[in-house]
Structure 1
Amino acid sequence: MDFIQVEEGQVKIKIPHFEKVSSRAPVFYNPVMELNRDLSVAALKMYRQEQEHDITICDAFGGSGIRGIRYSKEIDGVALAVVNDLNPLAVDLTRENISDNELDNVKVYRDDANMFLRKCRGKFDVVDIDPFGTPAPYVESAAASLRAGGMICVTATDTSALCGTYKKPCIRKYGAKPLRNEYCHETGLRILAGFLCRTFSKHKKYLKFQFSHSTEHYMRLYALVGKGAKNTDESLENLGYIAHCPKCLNRQVFKGMTPQIPSKCQECGEVWDVAGPLWCGKLHNSDFIEGMINILPELDLNRKNEALKLLNKCYDESNAPPTFYDLHAVCRKLKISAPPLEKIMDSIKKEGYTVSRTHFNPNGIKTDAPLNFIEKIILNNSAD
């Protein structure tokens, strides 16, 4: 078998040569996910700084071992990083990569991810679930395993389901109906967040989301775990639905598991498209993201500029309401050309509304201004 060497962050590993990234590769490694791993290192480094003790980390789907190896090498205060994978070749290769990087705080196991998490209940501060496809079958075990004060990191690459291209798989896997529209990636991320919260709530645990993003073909969430029936019940009040009007682009958030949702849009009378249940609360903690931004200069990253650009956008939108407006979509409705985005944002700010760009869409803005006001601003700027 031919091998190639890969360099990321402070580590060098070898992986089997393969023509195409897929689950059929001898050992799974996805070069496109380097940014994901860079951000993960920054997030876990920030998490470690907030703790008063060294941390233990579980990478439940180790593959080549690069994620767990990077955690142990690039984050100070990691007492133990455990890399698990069911593939025997991946396990052997990970052991070799650990040796080549001269690490003594990384252990390797070969087990089914669910079985391993159940057996290691309460032993990890951080559980990272980054499978090929949906994380849904493994969240229950992570919820049972993680103790209060821990952190759950989850990646989903089945964006076609979460974003509404295939609705039935989303309903089947996440127990929620998606929407296929201009802000479907945010809706999908909120469906994933809501699924995590509902699953953890069975164990009287709740989640406090620190950082979340939708990038390229995947979605990623980082959340702290809290415990207690009362706080969990209060957290679940952030579940709800998003009603979207496909005709006039109006949208409204309805909180609660069974809220009274009108059948038609109050603005134009069109029948609503409804997504949910999903998470209607915050997907970011601005203080946590600011900490990640401050950490980045310390890290040796190939994609540092991309990471910083993403974090800055997420920081700006961290306190914004759910959903965003795609200015090009609004302008198509108005049958006009789109004015400069910054000009629209400045006009909205001058009227006292909050507004920010969003990492979900380069043409999107998050604002508490109503749609009819945004349209008025666009028309006024279009006439200039």
Structure 2
Amino acid sequence: METADLNDYTVIKEGEAEILMHKKNKVFFNKAQVNNRDMSIAVLRAFISKRKQEHDAMLSKRARSSGKVVEKDVSEVSKEGAPTENGEDNGKTNGEEHEASSKDGSKEAAKTTYEPARRELKPPRVLEALSASGLRALRYAREVEGIGQVVALDNDPASVEACQRNIKFNGLMSTSKVESHLTDARVHMLTNPKEFDVVDLDPYGAPSIFLDSAVQSVADGGLLMCTATDMAVLCGANGEVCYSKYGSYPLKGKYCHEMALRILLASIESHANRYKRYIVPVLSVQIDFYARVFVRIYTSASAMKNTPLKLSYVYQCIGCDSFHLQSVGRSLPKHNSVRYQAGLGPVVPQDCTHCGKKYNMGGPIWSAPMHDQEWVTSILNGVKSMKDRYPAYNKICSMLTTISEELPDVPLFLSLHNLAATLKCTSPSAAMFRSAVINAKYRVSGSHVNPLGIKTDAPMEIIWDIMRCWVKNHPVKAQSPDHPGSVILSKEPSHQADFSRHVGSLSKAQVKKVARFLPNPEKHWGPKVRAGRQITSKHVSLIGHEAVNGHLNGHKEAAGAEEEEEEEKEDVVEDEPEMKRQKITEVIASSS
């Protein structure tokens, strides 16, 4: 590896790690991903703590069970060793007793030497499959207590060279914990099954080509952290492309970003099922321009059979905001076991019962909870206790606070503004609408994906009845009879909404005035140009006018310098014949 000239590099510090970034766009780095890296570190800390708790619980359970076995063996031995009524020792001679005791002693010695090795919990091994500059791997090694070896992979020589340079730049702690390799991550994961306790996938674009090998390389109970930045595909811009990559068809709606998370979870589950494995999501977030999921992976052929119960198709009305979920499978009790069958359907008729329009069908998506509220609370408390160690503390704290208040068992959400737009009416305030839902004896919460999103277990009939009652007090202009809003308003409400303010209409964070949705800290806070690509004027929306102009001016200056060098070379070449003629003339004159 060549010696680096520091004049060609910029030192970037994030958390406790520092990296050298070349002034040219050789290795990918995006400052906006600090939210991603901070969230990953918070989850990783919670995982290490949870892993230790589970290990201690397993050891105590084994100790209790082994204690019962020892007591049983002792009682049996005492019975066997007791003399019979005839004064005999159950037919055992002294030699036999000595031989049995020696065997027991050897077994105890073997058990004693084996026990410490079995009880030891090794530090978790982490694989960063697509490392680029290595910043993420370095932050894991330097900031996460109790972490083991961090393996950083990349198939780009420039990225591996940059990663190795940054490892050395960060000192002895990094060189002892982080190793970088030039290899295809898919091959490495396939050839190391169940070798890593944590696998981190953060590709530029879709992670779909890495999922099959990733679910095989995670150890039982291990953690898979996966990012998808192809949100346009996942949110329905190209449904056929999404289906080819993830096996689900997306729908365009206000909930499309949450649907993207659930499509990604369903895809990971599908890959895991092929190897008799299944996932348990602990946290799923949509941040900025990407989706990020954290799932634990287990192996169980029987538990894997529950997968169809966790997946659903989505029916979305094209005229109004009504949507319905159709479970892929169902389970029935049969004697002492469970019988699995296909889901019953359809859950909706051909035409929407509210506005009379047709339905679009999407999915399948993950319809089970995509967060573990116990984990979310633990992660949030950990972040608050180490506030100074997270560069993006405000962002991830606000997001975790919102997630902690979500209804975990309610897939997707409604948009209050879309409901009002369908009826062409003014929108009620969020607190007023939520009060009406709570007064109707249903649950309601917000969504971390959309500030105007409303999660509720109330059926669509109740939702539209609430809106009908609202319109009665806030009349609207007459619309065409065929308009979806006119069809909905033509029906009388079967439920009379109560808009009186309920104490639960505001979340705990809103009552305490905790910021939940923060603005971007900088302009052009989003995706960046892929490493190695030439920056042109079409990248203004990604990096801004100043960055583009500075880069182009730099290229012009470099090109101008090259032209001057070429002109000097041409002048030298043009002068050479004249110099030769002068030399020949001098030689001729001297000879005469």
- TM-score scaled by structure 1? 0.94
Correspondence 1:48-63 to 2 at 5 A: 48-52=48-52, 53=121, 54-63=123-132
Q: Equivalents in 2 of 1:350, 1:9: separation in Å? A: 47
Deviates more, 1:26-35 or 1:233-242: 233-242
CA contact (8 A) 2:437 2:444 kept: yes
**Which residue pairs with 1:183 in the alignment?**
255
Match of 2:419 in 1: 330
Letter of the aligned partner of 1:327 in structure 2? L
Query: 1:291 corresponds to which residue?
Result: 378
Select the residue among 280, 283, 296 that pairs with 2:367: 280
Contact 1:197–1:236 (CA under 8 A) maintained in structure 2: no
Cα drift, residue 378 of structure 1: 4.4
| SS, match of residue 361 in structure 1 | coil
Provide structure 1 residue ranges, at least 5 long, that are not aligned to the other structure.
Answer: 19-24
Distance in 2 (alpha carbons) for counterparts of 1:99 and 1:372: 63
1:14 partner SS: strand
Instruction: Flag the 1:59–1:318 CA change in 2: closer, same or farther, 3 A.
Output: farther
Partner Cα separation in structure 2 for residue 32 and residue 62 of structure 1: 16
Task: Please name the residue that 1:80 is paired with.
Answer: 149
For 1:167 and 1:182, the matched residues in 2 are separated by 16
Query: Percent identity over the alignment?
Result: 29
* Equivalent residue in structure 2 for 1:3, among 6, 9, 13: 9
- What is the aligned partner in structure 1 of residue 403 from structure 2? 314
Distance in 1 of aligned mates of 2:458 and 2:309: 24
Partners of 2:311 and 2:415 in 1: how far apart? 24
Task: Give how far 1:381 is off.
Answer: 5.4
**Post-superposition CA distance 1:57-86 (Å, at most 9, x none):** 100000110111111111111111111111
Give the match's secondary structure for 1:229. coil
Instruction: Give the Å deviation of 1:380.
Output: 4.7
Q: Which moved more, 1:233-242 or 1:160-169?
A: 233-242
| Cross-structure match for 2:289 | 217
Task: Give the AA of the match of 2:413.
Answer: F
Say if 1:144 and 1:203, in contact at 8 Å, map to a contact too: yes
**Structure-2 residue corresponding to 1:31:** 31
Q: Which residue, 126, 129, 138 being the options, matches 2:198?
A: 126
Is residue 251 of structure 2 the alignment partner of residue 168 of structure 1? Answer: no
CA 1:355–1:318 in structure 2 vs 1: closer, same or farther (change >3 Å)?
closer
| Aligned counterparts of 1:274 and 1:367: Cα–Cα separation in 2 | 21
Q: In structure 2, how many angstroms separate the alpha carbons of the residues matched to 1:327 and 1:223? A: 31
CA distance in 1: counterparts of 2:190 and 2:207, whole angstroms: 16
CA distance in 1, matches of 2:381, 2:195: 29
Q: Matched residues in 2 for 1:31 and 1:254: separation? A: 40
Q: Does 1:41 align with 2:41?
A: yes
Alignment check: 8 A CA contact 1:284 1:318 kept: no
Verify the 8 A CA contact 2:269 2:279 in the aligned structure 1. yes
Q: How does 1:132-147 map to 2 (within 5 A)?
A: 132-147=204-219
User: Contact conserved, 2:414 with 2:453, CA < 8 A, in 1?
Assistant: yes
Residue 335 of structure 1: how far off its partner (Å): 1.1
Measured after TM superposition, the shift of residue 349 of structure 1 is 2.0
Conservation of the 8 A alpha-carbon contact between 1:320 and 1:366: no
- Are 1:254 and 2:326 matched, yes or no? yes
Aligned equivalent of 1:64, options 106, 130, 133: 133
Instruction: Confirm or deny: 8 A CA contact 2:320 2:422 kept in the other structure.
Output: yes
Give how far 1:192 is off. Answer: 1.0
Q: Structure 1 87/122 Cα, relative in aligned 2: closer, same or farther at 3 Å?
A: same
Return the match for 1:204 from 262, 266, 276: 276
How many correspondences in the alignment?
A: 378
2:228 paired with 1:156: yes
Write the letter of the residue equivalent to 2:380: I
Secondary structure class of the residue paired with 1:210: strand
Q: Secondary structure at the match of 1:293?
A: helix
Q: Return the offset for 1:99.
A: 2.0
SS of the residue corresponding to residue 34 of structure 2 reads helix
SS at match of 2:446: strand
Where does structure 2 lack aligned partners over 5 or more consecutive residues? 1-6, 53-120, 330-341, 475-592
Give the deviation of 1:379 after TM superposition. Answer: 5.3
Give the superposition deviation at 1:326: 0.4
Task: Name the TM-score, length of structure 2 as normaliser.
Answer: 0.62
Q: Counterpart of 2:427 in 1: which secondary structure? A: coil
Provide the C-alpha distance between the structure 1 equivalents of 2:309 and 2:155, rounded to a whole number of angstroms: 38
- What is the one-letter code of the residue matched to 1:356? S
Q: Which amino acid aligns with 2:128?
A: D
Q: Which moved more, 1:357-366 or 1:333-342?
A: 333-342
Question: CA deviation digits over 1:70-126, x for unaligned, max 9?
Answer: 111111111111111111121122122222222221111111110111122222001
**Root-mean-square deviation over aligned CA pairs:** 1.7
Give secondary structure in 2 for the equivalent of 1:282. Answer: coil
Query: Which residue is equivalent to 1:17?
Result: 23
Q: What residue identity is the alignment partner of 1:267? A: H
- Cα distance in 1 for partners of 2:375, 2:44 equals 11
Q: Deviations over 1:200-259 (max 9, x none)?
A: 000000000000011221111100111111101113321121111121221111111664
Does 202-211 or 102-111 show the bigger shift? Answer: 102-111
Residue number in structure 1 paired with 2:335? none
- Give the structure, 1 or 2, with the largest relative contact order (CA under 8 Å, sep 6 or more): 1
Whether the 8 Å CA contact 2:129–2:153 is kept in 1: the answer is yes
Secondary structure, aligned partner of 1:132: coil
Distance 2:158 2:289 in 1: 26
Structure with the higher fraction of residues in helix conformation: 2
Give the match for residue 165 of structure 2: 96
For 1:3-23, what per-residue CA distance to the aligned partner results, in whole angstroms no more than 9, with x for missing partners? 2222222212122235xxxxx
TM-fit CA distance, 1:352: 2.1
Q: Residues of 1 paired with 2:435 and 2:141: CA distance?
A: 45
Q: 2:26 & 2:366 partners in 1: Cα distance? A: 37
AA partner of residue 47 (structure 2) = Y
Contact 1:283 / 1:318 at 8 angstroms: preserved in 2? no
